[in-house]
Amino acid sequence: MKIKKNKNTSPDNYHFNLKEGQTYIVYAWAIFNNCLWYCISEGNNVFFPMWNPSMIFDIVDNRLSRYWIFNIWSTSVDVEKEIPICSFPEWANDPYFYTELIEYNGNDPNAIIFKKYKTLMDLEFPDPSITEKAEIGDRDWLICPKCIDAWEWKDDRDALVKCPKCQTIFNNPRYKDEN
């Protein structure tokens, strides 16, 4: 799911380090305090995602990640209170995943798990800001138009690919958009 920050929609008493008009990838969503919240990465220098209220965003791509599962957490404080969550399995199945992720400052197994899924989800769907395509070498290989390196890549499920040598992200010429 991709969302775009609205202009002038931040609720009172909240300060969010988000850019107006910027598109963000949702790594999890949950309903708590009677509000839908999205967990997004606010920038490349932040090692963990931050929760933000849905009311400050517009959905620009409503496709759900293939890595997500749905779960309902029961809080230990009030057994009657349940929190619906949708994210990758390690997060959705562990109510302490996020707390441990932020408490250990990115130096724990949860940080490694989050980084893995972030990388996968960042390449999953098209990004209009990326205009160049990787080149097809043959049926098994892609070629980077920037550094001319080639790598084996047969997958057509992800919209984007990342050159392993120069780390540039390109559109996947084999991508089959099912949307």
Strand ranges (E), 55-140: 57-61, 69-74, 82-87, 135-136
Looking at the structure, tell me whether residues 112 and 140 fall in a common domain: no
118 and 139 part of one domain = no
Same domain, 48 and 103: yes
Query: What residues make up the domain containing 94?
Result: 2-122
Is 86 found in the same domain as 28?
yes
* Shared domain check, 153 and 107: no
Q: Determine how many CB atoms are found less than 10 A away from the CB of residue 137.
A: 13
Averaged pLDDT, groups of 10, the chain, 179 residues long:
74 65 93 91 74 91 95 71 93 92 77 92 94 94 96 93 96 85
Q: pLDDT at position 69, please? A: 97
Alpha-carbon distance 147 to 166, whole Å? 7
Give the residue from 173, 174, 171, 179 showing the smallest Cα distance to 131. Answer: 171
* Residues in CB range of 1: below 8 A, 6 or more apart: 25, 26, 29, 38, 59, 61, 62, 63, 64, 65
- 163 and 91 in a single domain? The answer is no
- pLDDT value for 82: 86
Same domain, 60 and 140: no
HSE on the CB side for 27, CA within 13 Å? 24
On whether residue 74 sits in a domain, the answer given is yes
Q: Residue ranges of the alpha helices (H) in 69-108?
A: 89-92, 97-103
Q: Are residues 112 and 32 in the same domain?
A: yes
pLDDT of residue 16: 62
For residue 147, tell me if it sits in a domain.
yes
77 forms beta bridges with none
**Cβ neighbours, 10 Å, residue 133:** 16
Number of domains in the chain: 2
